[in-house]
Amino acid sequence: MDHGKITSFQVSLLMYSVILATGFITIPGISAHYAMNDFWLAPIVAIAAGGIVLAISIKLHRLYPDKNLIQYSERIIGKVPGKILGLIYCQFFVFTGGIVCREYAEFVTGNFLFKTPMFCLVILMVLLAAFAVRGGVELVVRSTLLLTPLFILPLFFLLLLIPDFEISNILPFMSHGMIPVIQGSLAPISWYSEFLIIAFFLPSVIDKNKTVKYSILSLLAVSASLTYVCLVSLFVLGSDTADKVYPVLTAFRYISRADFFENLEALLLAMWVVGNFIKIAAVYYAAVLSFTSCFNLKDYKPFVFPIGMLIVIHCFWDFPSFFKLSGFLHSTGLFHLSTFMLVIPILLLIIALCRKQWSKLIT
C-alpha cells in the first residue's frame, strides 16, 4: 500500500481541482437547461450536498483511522459484502475515469485539435496519469500544487468581459419558482459528490486536526468558482447559455481588448488539460486502491497499467459518440454519480453508527 504523507491543505487543493476540472465548463449549460436565468443559483443550492459528503467522509475516517473507503466498508457491512462493494467501487471509478477521459478528448478534438485522433489524446493522458499514480499519493498531490495556479489563472481573464456584461440578464429573478433551480442543481450536486474521493487520501494526511477547516475552505472555493463562472456566462450569453455545450468557451471567444487580449481560447485549453490531468489521476488512484484494498494486496503498482487500460476501454466502449456522452451527463449520469458518492456513503455511516451504538449497549 501507499505510505506517502500529505497535508490537509494539499488534499483540499486537490479536491478543488478535481471538482472544478470538468464542472466549470459543463455545469453552466446543464443547469441553464432547467433553471433558465436562475441557473447561477444552482451551485449555491447544491453546496449542501458537498458538505454532507465531506462530513460523511471525515466522520467515517475518524471512526476507522488509517483506513480508506473500501477497507472500512468491510468492517461496517462484513468481509464478503465489503469486498463485493469494493469491486463495485473499483468498476465505478474505472467507469468514471473513462467518462472524464472522453470529456477531455471530445472538448480538445471538437474545438482545437480537429485532426488529432482522439485515441492518441486519451492514451497520452492516461499514460501520464499512470506515472503519477505509480509515484504514489505524494506525487499526485505535489503535481496538483504545481499545476493548480495554471488551472486557476485563466478564470481571471473572464473579468475582461466586464464592459460587455448585461446585468439585466439576471432578471426576472426566480420568476419560475424554486423547482427549476432545484432541477438545475442536480448537476452541481453530482459534481460536489465527487468530494468522496477524499476518503482515499485522508489516511495519508499528517495534520488531521486541520482536515475539517481546509475541507470547508475547499468546498466554499468550489462553490464560489462555479457561481462566478455561471454569472459570467449569464451576463455575457443570457438565455443562450442553455443552448451552448461549452458556454465558458463561447465567453472566452468574446474577449477582445486593446487588440492585445484576443484569441484567449488557448488559455482555456491549457486550463482544461491541466485540470483533467489532476482529476483523472485522482480517480485513477481511487480505482487502483479500491482494487488492491479489496484483495488486501501490499503493492498496488503492478495493477496501475492494467487498470489504466480498462479506463481507456471504457472511454470508447461506453460512449461511442459525443451525443451519447452528452445525454448521459444530462440525465442518467447525475443520478449515477450521486448514488455511489452520496447515497451509499450515507448508508455506510448509518450502519457504522448503529453498530457502534449496539456494541456500547451489549458491553
In the prediction, which pLDDT does 334 show? Answer: 75
Contacts of 240 (CB under 8 A, 6+ apart): none
In the prediction, which pLDDT does 259 show? Answer: 67
Q: What is the pLDDT of residues 123-174, one digit of tens each?
A: 999 999 999 999 888 888 888 888 888 888 888 888 888 888 888 888 888 8
In the prediction, which pLDDT does 361 show? Answer: 63
Q: For residues 40 and 138, give the distance between their C-alpha atoms in angstroms, rounded to a whole number.
A: 35
> Residues of the chain whose pLDDT is less than 70?
1-3, 258-261, 359-363
Contacts of 146 (CB under 8 A, 6+ apart): none
In the prediction, which pLDDT does 1 show? Answer: 61
Q: What is the pLDDT of residues 178-214, one digit of tens each?
A: 888 888 888 888 889 889 999 999 888 888 889 899 9
Q: For residues 319 and 341, give the distance between their C-alpha atoms in angstroms, rounded to a whole number.
A: 21
